[in-house]
Amino acid sequence: MRRAVAVRISALLAAGALTAAAGVALSTTTASAATGGVTGYATQNGGTTGGAGGQTVRATTGTAIHQALCSRASSSTPITIQVEGTINHGNTTKVSGSSCNTAADRIELKQISNVTIVGVGNGAVFDQLGIHIREAANIVIQNVTVRNVKKSGSPTSNGGDAIGMESDVRNVWVDHVTLEASGGESEGYDGLFDMKDNTQYVTLSYSVLRNSGRGGLIGSSESDRSNGYVTFHHNLYENIDSRAPLLRGGIAHMYNNHYKRLNESGINSRAGARAKVDNNYFEDSKDVLGTFYTSEAGYWQVGGNVFDNVTWSSRSGDHNPAGPNPTSNTSVSIPYDFALDGANCVPGVVAQTAGAGKGLKVSDGSCTPQSPDPTDPGPTDPGEPTDPGPTDPPAGANLSLGAGADGSSKASGTSYGNVIDGNTSTYWSPSGSTGSVSVKWGSATTVSKAGIRLASGSGTIGAYRLLNHDTGAVLASGSGAGTVSFSPASLKKITLEITNASGTPRIAEFETYAN
């Protein structure tokens, strides 16, 4: 058998450095990111939509990215930032504002929500500059390359992580990205994709992680077990020493990934973690699954995997590989739908779809790559639920009657309470074309439908979102008025956020229903 090589070779960097502009965000466009649709655990907890329905801007520098975040009306106003060119320390500075909290040495997505960053045109390369997601929710990162981020040496960024998440992060979808280093910790690099301190509902799909000592982790220590619900699918892990990933506590689902040259260990499930490992292809690697470097065991459910030229060490002390014949020692229930490609075709499918610059191609579940449908709505095409008309009322009692109301942005002479009074001749309007109004209860109430009724003379709602105000999760999004259904949610407060409108909307009633 061939001996796994040590990961101490230089990564092949993207050919042809792109010219970095020093300007700020360019003018607004109506373009949007084409996607194959969010998948995995990022579909749960209300789903992940990023900046869908909001403004779209173009950025060619890190400063312009920060400026776009800081120019929003609020830290939750949806925005899609299209990035082209090379983003580095030389063109990334801190920008201040009430809707942002940025830093000069990284792309900082901190204390914000509802943001999409997508590479366009000739591509987006974050060179020696990491992306940091902290105290944030509903984030999409797509079609970008992040390379050679260091925690020691010069320059340093983001603790050495290409993409790092920590501190109460929810609902992140990272898709069609390339994350790469040029060595391990001794060369100054850390993890390519790290999650810490209560990070949940994350999907990494159709991406490449290569040439690093550490692929990534879920949980920073054996006691950091508040992370989990992470899906990894159709990714290539190549020339990685370990942590592909390291999972401490929580649940992760790995399916249809191609693992090639895992030099020391691969999926490291420990500290009570549970990993569901389906139809992956492991090649030219060592100890690709097990509990390593700890006495605190983790668990796995395996099925349909291919082990091609994989070597297994003997069990000893804190080194407990699952092989040479891996069998399940737990069961994991997956709450979302997914289609498995056969493991034998995974290398071919992943080669055609994974990484930045692949045209966002996806698999259809039958080993056939395809171009995605342009389903992600832009500012002028909100898509999602459409207006079924006010003549389609839900059954059951309107829970808004007798509840409370508040909001942000209120036109003179209108009242938040007018949306819960059962009178369609009274209404609330934002002070302009955007704003939010909420219905609230003293105790948790289950809601699965909402009705938006407009008063006479109202402007048109171009785009809106329904939010679980307790968690910030997006329950639904759409345009116009009418009735919208979503997965039942137990909450104390639900918010209607209008993100785009023609004229000034007049919301006569914001109805809520259990059924």
Q: Write out the catalytic residue numbers.
A: 243
Name residue, tokens 């492991």.
Answer: 282
Amino acid at the residue 218: I
Nearest to 381 by CA among 76, 54, 73: 54
Amino acid at the residue 152: S
Nearest to 143 by CA among 108, 115, 175: 175
Spell out the alpha helix ranges (H) of 258-377.
Answer: 346-353
Nearest to 408 by CA among 382, 447, 384, 438: 438
Provide DSSP, 332-353: ----S---PPPGGGHHHHHHHH
The alpha-carbon radius of gyration of the chain (Å, integer) is 24
- What gap in Å lies between CA 256 and CA 233, rounded to an integer? 5
Question: 141 near 166, Cβ under 8 Å?
Answer: no
Token pair in block for residue 392: 């389609």
Question: 253 near 304, Cβ under 8 Å?
Answer: no
φ/ψ region of 359 (left if φ > 0, alpha if ψ in -120 to 50, else beta) reads left
Question: 252 near 228, Cβ under 8 Å?
Answer: yes
- CB neighbours of residue 432 within 10 Å: 12
Terminus-to-terminus CA distance in the chain, angstroms? 60
- 392: Cβ–Cβ under 8 A, 6 or more apart, which residues? 482, 483
DSSP reduced 3-state for 42: helix
Question: 238 near 215, Cβ under 8 Å?
Answer: no
Token pair in block for residue 349: 């499918």
How many residues make up the chain in this entry?
Answer: 515
φ/ψ region of 457 (left if φ > 0, alpha if ψ in -120 to 50, else beta) reads left
Token pair in block for residue 417: 């309470």
Q: Output b/e per residue, 456-489; b: 16+ Cβ within 10 A.
A: eebbbbbbbbbbbbeebbbbbbbbbbbbbebeeb
